[in-house]
């Protein structure tokens, strides 16, 4: 990337630009003076592209590209001439089978990385991984860590024995991240990963299929499917890590710009349990949320952001403020009364 104080225009690519994190990344990059090549599956879908094209700076410094994770070569045009690439795109949501997660996640990483190699201009790739690729359990499902840091990897043999949607997603994120590091090492491409926590806060896209909405709706009892996801996450990860959307976006840019950044970086302002999150929401919404026996599970393993903080990054939003912002955006969009 350009050195601090250098006046050359910086061009980067953001994959999955219409998504929750991707759209915020585009917004913040434009605000910082970057020129952005943004990929979408369908740039012609105004419901998704419109919010990006309306951003400040978009008219002069944003260009949209069509790209498909499963199609090799489809990222070439978007990556050409870029100094850095933010690979955010990936399969999301509750899906029917392991292939729905693993194939696009792993093949997508390879297709983006190959495009970076062909472009020759790319110096660094920041890949959006997930806390789901980090786990305090071993392959037997036994708890072996009391605090989670970047040295932990999700145990693939254990996850493959679980056969549920979240275990498949965790497997896909783990395999995709390992593929990214392996390809980078073999092709002299600098790869940085962000282990993003559950993202809460306002959104700028038209879609409401976001963790911000899913987590809040699950906790208040309006999303049974995602409530089961939260329970499984609390069981496998030991806690539910949370981060504000603006903070995780800022962390991506921080890691792209930091000259000595390398490897993995947990991005989580705090870790909580289902019970503590329900207590927080009860207080903020001024309502009583029903507690179940499994909400009071004894296991609690925190996530550590020490590596990121020691590099000089700071979180703007506390856990409480993060949920306040998420609630306000849900109310504004009439998702909460």
Question: How many domains does the chain fold into?
Answer: 1
Dump pLDDT digits (tens) for 172-197. 999 999 999 999 999 999 999 999 99
pLDDT tier for residue 223 given thresholds of 50, 70 and 90: confident
Query: How far apart (Å, rounded) are the C-alpha atoms in residues 37 and 34?
Result: 10
**Strand order of the sheet with strand 35-40?**
62-66, 35-40, 11-15, 84-87, 124-130, 190-196, 263-267
**105: helix, strand or coil:** helix
Classify residue 20: in a domain, yes or no.
Answer: yes
Query: How far apart (Å, rounded) are the C-alpha atoms in residues 203 and 151?
Result: 31
Q: Which is it for the CA torsion 160, 166, 172, 174, positive or negative?
A: negative
Distances (CA, A) of 130 to 40, 153, 179, 298, 337: 21, 11, 14, 24, 31
Classify residue 274: in a domain, yes or no.
Answer: no
Classify residue 287: in a domain, yes or no.
Answer: no
pTM of the model: 0.93
Classify residue 334: in a domain, yes or no.
Answer: no
For position 99, which CATH number holds? 3.40.50.720
50 token code pair = 């419109």
Dump pLDDT digits (tens) for 45-94. 888 899 999 999 999 999 999 999 999 999 999 999 999 999 999 876 55
DSSP 9: P
By percentage, how much of the chain surpasses pLDDT 70? 92
Classify residue 218: in a domain, yes or no.
Answer: no
Told to judge if 173 belongs to the known catalytic residues of this protein, a careful annotator would answer yes
Classify residue 237: in a domain, yes or no.
Answer: no
Average pLDDT, the chain: 90
Classify residue 151: in a domain, yes or no.
Answer: yes
- Give the model's pLDDT for residue 98: 59
Give 1's Cβ-side CA count (13 Å radius). 23
Active-site hit among 27, 48, 114, 173: 173
Classify residue 212: in a domain, yes or no.
Answer: no
Q: Quick one: how far is CA 209 from the chain centroid?
A: 14
What's the domain range around 85? 11-200+242-268+301-315
């Amino acid at each position: 990337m350009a050195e601090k104080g250098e006046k050359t225009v910086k061009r980067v690519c953001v994959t999955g630009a219409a998504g929750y994190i991707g759209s915020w990344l585009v917004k913040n990059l434009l605000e910082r003076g970057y020129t952005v090549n943004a990929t979408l599956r369908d740039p012609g879908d105004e419901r998704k592209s419109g919010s990006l094209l309306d951003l400040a700076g978009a008219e002069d410094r944003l260009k949209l590209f069509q790209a498909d994770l499963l199609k090799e070569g489809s990222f070439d045009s978007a990556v050409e001439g870029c100094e850095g690439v933010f690979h955010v795109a990936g399969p999301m949501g509750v899906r029917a089978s392991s292939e729905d997660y693993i194939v696009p996640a792993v093949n997508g990483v390879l297709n983006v990385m190959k495009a970076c190699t062909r472009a020759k201009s790319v110096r660094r790739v920041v890949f959006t991984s997930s806390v789901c690729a980090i786990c305090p359990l071993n392959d037997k499902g036994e708890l072996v860590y009391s605090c989670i840091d970047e040295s932990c990897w999700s145990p693939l043999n254990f996850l493959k024995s679980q056969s549920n949607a979240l275990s498949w997603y965790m497997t896909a994120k783990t395999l995709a991240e390992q593929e990214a590091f392996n390809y980078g090492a073999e092709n002299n491409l600098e790869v940085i990963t962000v282990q993003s926590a559950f993202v809460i806060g306002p959104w700028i896209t038209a879609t409401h299929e976001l963790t911000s909405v899913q987590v809040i709706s699950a906790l208040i009892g309006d999303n049974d499917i995602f409530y089961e996801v939260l329970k499984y996450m609390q069981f496998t990860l030991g806690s539910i890590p949370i981060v504000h959307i603006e903070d995780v976006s800022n962390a991506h840019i921080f890691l792209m710009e930091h000259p000595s950044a390398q490897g993995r970086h947990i991005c989580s302002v705090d870790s909580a349990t289902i019970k503590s999150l329900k207590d927080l929401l009860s207080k903020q919404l001024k309502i009583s949320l029903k507690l179940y026996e499994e909400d009071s599970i004894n296991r609690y393993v925190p996530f550590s952001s020490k590596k990121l903080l020691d590099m000089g990054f700071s979180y703007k939003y506390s856990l409480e403020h993060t949920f306040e912002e998420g609630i306000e955006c849900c109310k504004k969009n009439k998702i909460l009364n």
